[in-house]
Structure 1
Amino acid sequence: MLKTIANIRIPDSKLAVGAAELLREHGDTLLWNHSHRVYLFGAIQGQNNGLKFDLELLYISALFHDLGLTKQYSSPDKRFEVDGANAARSYLQQNGVPDESIRLVWDAIALHTTIGVAQYKESEVALIYSGVGYDVMGENYDSISEEVREQVVIAYPRDNFKNKILPAFLEGFKHKPETTFGNIKADVCELLLPGFKKTNFCDCVLHSPWKD
């Protein structure tokens, strides 16, 4: 593993290496490369904007942020983001990490697809959100130079990521599509899951058991 990419250090503490080993064991190459790009793009944006943040916590958050999609960590009834956050919390608790740091990591993972909220929280939370947005949707694409982007992608290749990530998302929650109600992953189910119909919030209100 390279130590520094695009002037961003890859944490190599025991805690960070242990988290990376879990992703290696239970994830795949797609998630490995994506998670590292999320870390790097988040850290680069944080650095460019003069934010103070904990590199190790950011890295661990990135490594766990999609582990809820894997068979090892996927629950039958929770959002995959919460599964990943719970897995990270358990790992950090087992390693004696302070509660406040654990809360930051949990929030960073659980909120990484929550538009309009995550970007206003602590730096680690906001940077995981922006790192994901940058790698998945190209949000604020020109805020990082082509030269820096290339350094990241050479180290952690995209390899047709656009066309692979949506099926990978679906694979992680197709057994519980109801957990996508009210969040952007319902769009994945609508595109790729035959017979899926989004739950409509207005219907929930108008057809509630209340008589008024």
Structure 2
Amino acid sequence: MIPSIPSSLTAQAAADLAAEAAPAYLLNHSYRTYLFGRCIVAKPEVDEEVAFVAAMIHDLGLTDAYQGESDFARSGADLACRFLDSRGWDLDRIHLVEEAILRHTNLVAEEVPVYRLVQAGAAVDVAGLGYEELAPDDLAGIVKAYPRLDFASTMRTRFLEEARRHPEGAFAHLERVVTLSDRFGANPIDGPGA
């Protein structure tokens, strides 16, 4: 059974913020990031609301509404901080969301459960890394609920645009180190029987 989506007012507001700014392929990616990550990082100490908010906002720095002069992750983290501050969240929880967004592209597995959840979920959805940790029924259920649409090709284009725009940013680093653009179209979750 796939994990449930947090139902707090702030979680709903984060989902609404993402729905207003993100095209469908990116919005569904945000949901899949949370759900894949929750399946992989099943530790009870994970603050699900923090993880969900971070997952919903983590790529909004790629959208027309929130793209800024900074790297997309920094733009998304700053957006999350403003959003959560306006909702009266305490600074420790805001910092967890900020760091989860900033660290989600790191290549070394994060140890803090919330950071790892967003990182692992995004890695599965973008490149299929760690997909074997998902139960086949969970994988199928998540993709059915939040279809991939044209994610692989459209996100690859956005990835390369962001890497060119910010040559010292996270995406440019991933392209230099692991040629991530080659992995979008080879994600095993899109393969036969997926």
TM-score computed with the length of structure 1 as normaliser: 0.77
Structure-2 separation of matches of 1:187 and 1:71: 27
Q: Please say if residues 169 and 188 of structure 1, whose CA atoms lie closer than 8 Å, have aligned partners that are also in contact.
A: no
Residue aligning to 1:113: 105
Q: Equivalents in 1 of 2:180, 2:127: separation in Å?
A: 18
Matched residue of 2:173: which SS? coil
**Aligned-residue offset at 1:122:** 1.3
1:184 to 171, 174, 178: 174
Whether the 8 Å contact between 1:174 and 1:189 is mirrored in structure 2 is: no
Q: Which one-letter code corresponds to 1:36 in the other structure?
A: Y
Amino acid at match of 2:50: L
Counterpart position of 2:37: 42
> Cα distance, 1:72 vs. partner?
1.9
Q: Deviations over 1:111-146 (max 9, x none)?
A: 111112xx2331100111011111111112211121
Alignment of 1:23-172 (within 5 A): 23-47=18-42, 50-76=43-69, 78-116=70-108, 119-172=109-162
**Larger proportion of helix:** 2
For residue 16 of structure 1, the aligned residue among 11, 15, 27 is 11
Alpha-carbon shift at residue 75 of structure 1 (Å) = 1.5
Q: Which secondary structure state, in structure 2, belongs to the residue aligned with residue 11 of structure 1?
A: coil
Q: What are the superposed Cα offsets for residues 140-170 of structure 1, whole Å, 9 maximum, x if unpaired?
A: 2211121110000000001242222111223
Q: Which has the larger radius of gyration?
A: 1
> Over residues 164-199 of structure 1, what are the superposed CA-to-partner deviations in whole Å (9 max), with x where a residue is unaligned?
21112234565444535862155799979xxxxxxx
Identity fraction in percent: 32
Counterparts of 2:175 and 2:149, CA distance in 1: 22
Answer 1 or 2: higher relative contact order, Cα 8 Å, separation at least 6.
2
Distance 1:45 1:179, change over 3 A: closer
2:169 is paired with a residue of what secondary structure? helix
How many residues align structurally?
Answer: 182
Structure 1, unaligned runs of 5 or more: 1-5, 193-212
Check whether the contact 2:34–2:118 (CA below 8 A) recurs between aligned residues: yes
Summarize deviations over 1:30-86 as a string: whole Å, max 9, x none.
111000000000011111xx452011111100001100111222222x211111011
Q: Which runs of 5+ in 2 are unaligned?
A: 183-194
SS at match of 1:38: helix
